[in-house]
Amino acid sequence: MNEFSLINHFFKQQAIEREDVVFGIGDDAACLAIPAGMHLLVSTDTLVADVHFLSEWDAYDIAYKAVMVNISDIAAMAANPCWISLALTLPELNPMWLKRFSEGLHSCLKKFNISLIGGDTTRGPLSITITIHGLAPVGQVVRRAGANIGDKIYVSGELGAAALAVASCKINKIEPVDKQLILDKLKHPNPRIDLTTILRQYASAAIDISDGLSADLNHLCDASGVGAKLDISAIPIHQLVKKYQPIKALDFALSGGDDYELCFTVPTKKEKEFLVAINKLGLSCYVIGTIVGERGLSILEENGEISTLTPKGYSHF
């Protein structure tokens, strides 16, 4: 097997063929049909071995995570994912590894009806770069900038479990069932595409929580030129984080990262309708605070005191 038969066997033959792909893998560039009235959203995320995942992970999970974290960025913009390209750097040509990798890849793509439209295959230290393309109706994209004073701040799910999984090698006595659960959170993020239409209708700003809630909310506030006041008792902390890290639980939730939930703001005049709409869809989101004029983050402690919250999250450098 060489580079070209590899591409053909593991990537081209199994690709989903969406009607809007005029042509995909096989030419020097893919050709896509963008419907009138839609904006094209483009985002790239790289996963590097032993930084974002461990080399010893099942290749299925590596591919799965690589696709899902990209979909999460498209979800944060209130767009629908359509196409990806894949730049794959491999230390060796290992058919068993590639088989598992392509199974993980295609299972995600199938789940969200996304076509693999091209890529690049090179030799080097294991890394996966995916560029994802999504569509949203013109005028309905949600950005980080857009939050206004008085807007309510929401998160879409419980936080901290993925960070607990990363730390779990240093924590004694995690029961096997619990360990399985948190590793699943780390390896199989669930991007919140189910919130796309809700965000379009009700959100003034949104961001995905990949680096940690405090760091990412701070980015949203900076982009919007505002600050945030959070309520400590309202932060949704995953129950296993409370169980195994009772003292540091809040830290895990605020700055652990890798959760791939969304943080978004809703103007108060839309809040009632928003709550009815998510209820109808059977979804639950958590209100954690309010957008304020004063820049930076603050948090209302359980004793009633307000303290400054220093944004903390994952940073490569």
Contact positions toward ligand ADP, by CB under 6 A?
7, 11, 25-28, 86, 88, 116, 118-121
Compute CA 237 distance to the chain's CA centroid, rounded to the nearest angstrom: 18
Q: Which is nearer to ligand ADP, 120 or 273 (CB)?
A: 120
Phi-psi region of 289 (alpha: psi -120 to 50; beta: other; left: phi over 0): left
Q: Give me 115's structure tokens.
A: 């076509």
As measured in angstroms, the least distance from the Cβ of 120 to Mg ion is 4
The span from the CA of 212 to the CA of 235, in Å, is: 13
Q: Which is nearer to ligand ADP, 120 or 175 (CB)?
A: 120
Residue 28 interacts, among ligand ADP, Mg ion, none and using kind-specific CB cut-offs from 5 to 8 Å, with ligand ADP
Q: Which is nearer to Mg ion, 7 or 136 (CB)?
A: 7
Residue 25 interacts, among Mg ion, ligand ADP, none and using kind-specific CB cut-offs from 5 to 8 Å, with ligand ADP
Question: Where along the sequence are the contacts to Mg ion (CB under 5 A)?
Answer: 120
As measured in angstroms, the least distance from the Cβ of 53 to ligand ADP is 17
Residue 7 interacts, among Mg ion, ligand ADP, none and using kind-specific CB cut-offs from 5 to 8 Å, with ligand ADP
* 298: Cβ contacts below 8 Å, ≥ 6 apart: 227, 228, 229, 230, 292, 306, 307, 308, 309
> For residue 181, with 0-12 CB atoms within 10 Å meaning exposed, 13-18 middle and 19 or more buried, which class applies?
middle
Residue 75 interacts, among ligand ADP, Mg ion, none and using kind-specific CB cut-offs from 5 to 8 Å, with none
Q: Which is nearer to ligand ADP, 118 or 212 (CB)?
A: 118
As measured in angstroms, the least distance from the Cβ of 66 to Mg ion is 18
As measured in angstroms, the least distance from the Cβ of 21 to ligand ADP is 12
As measured in angstroms, the least distance from the Cβ of 101 to Mg ion is 18
Residue 226 interacts, among ligand ADP, Mg ion, none and using kind-specific CB cut-offs from 5 to 8 Å, with none
Beta pairing, strands 296-300 & 205-209 = unpaired
The span from the CA of 82 to the CA of 193, in Å, is: 12
Q: Which is nearer to ligand ADP, 25 or 186 (CB)?
A: 25
Q: Which is nearer to ligand ADP, 106 or 152 (CB)?
A: 106
DSSP 8-state assignment for residue 301: -
Q: Give me 144's structure tokens.
A: 């980080």
Cα 109 to Cα 188, 254, 263, distances in angstroms:
14, 30, 24
